[in-house]
Amino acid sequence: MNGPITSLTTGWRQPSVLPGFGLTLGYTLTYLGLIVLLPLAALILRPAELGWVGFWEVVSAPRVLAALKVSFGAAFVGACINAIFGLLTAWVLVRYRFPLKRLIDALVDLPFALPTAVAGIALTTLYAPNGLLGQFLEPLGIKVAFTWTGIALALTFIGLPFVVRTVQPVLQDLERELEEAAAGLGATRLQTFFRVILPAIAPALVTGFALAFARAVGEYGSVIFIAGNMPMSTEIAPLLIVIKLEQYDYAGAAAIAVVMLGFSFVMLLVLNLLQRWARRHERAGA
């Protein structure tokens, strides 16, 4: 009798060496509720004072749609660039030994520590028409600062560490024996990468892409200096939110923020579902 009763009463949670499950669970839920759920709920409820018609008028305005297109488009491009070159950077840091490797590894985290406004000023100084690099690109007809390209460049800069730090530990734990076995079976280096290495690191790469994208969508400080902030052209959605706040249009600013939140949540949900499907497919294949 004791065995079945014990399994029924305690089978709903895993036993733990540390006591206090109820207390820690309550603290976790309370903390998440106050820090995450409560502000999000306030954000979602604030546009309610506009009504559905007023909300739709705000978010469907041509200037708002153009700003959302710039923010999400540049964030997606930056995340795609980071997915490629972030993977390459993580590969070099894990697989090769070279001078100043530790210094380069530390520089990867620089966008984390550097204030975003400082990053924007630095990029503008480099790529402005009279900047250190811009003065050579301008005669070639290549404009970076104050264009859509400059926005994508800034978002690529701030998103790189997310991909590198997500993929790097997976590459470190990847067994070299799998690559040696593939080579022993006659696989080329490209075949080994795409059929052995890439499937193993794909979940981490997707996670890094999602983090870089989510970080870039709401970026403000590093973009406003290099974007030019031209309405209908290089104006980002976070800047439009700030403008509405300065005009004391809090409900309008919250409406734009809700749209950004909804799009970001849907995209992250899709990426998480794809990541879960890839893991199940990998387990089924194994």
What CATH number did the domain enclosing 176 receive? 1.10.3720.10
CA 207 to chain centre: 8
**Token output for 257:** 């923020």
Q: Which domain holds residue 208?
A: 51-285
* Position 9 pLDDT exceeds 50: no
Rounded to an integer, the average pLDDT of 150-157 is: 94
pLDDT at position 1: 43
Is 72 part of a structural domain of the chain? yes
Is 126 part of a structural domain of the chain? yes
Lowest mean pLDDT among 111-125, 218-232, 268-282: 268-282
Rounded to an integer, the average pLDDT of 176-187 is: 80
How many percent of the chain have pLDDT more than 90? 46
| Residue 143 · residue 137 · CB < 8 Å | yes
Rounded to an integer, the average pLDDT of 213-220 is: 90
Q: Find, among 117, 73, 120, the residue nearest to 237 by Cα.
A: 73
Instruction: Report the alpha-carbon distance of residue 197 to residue 178 in Å, rounded.
Output: 9
Q: How many domains does the chain have?
A: 1
pLDDT at position 47: 87
Q: What is the CA radius of gyration of the chain?
A: 24
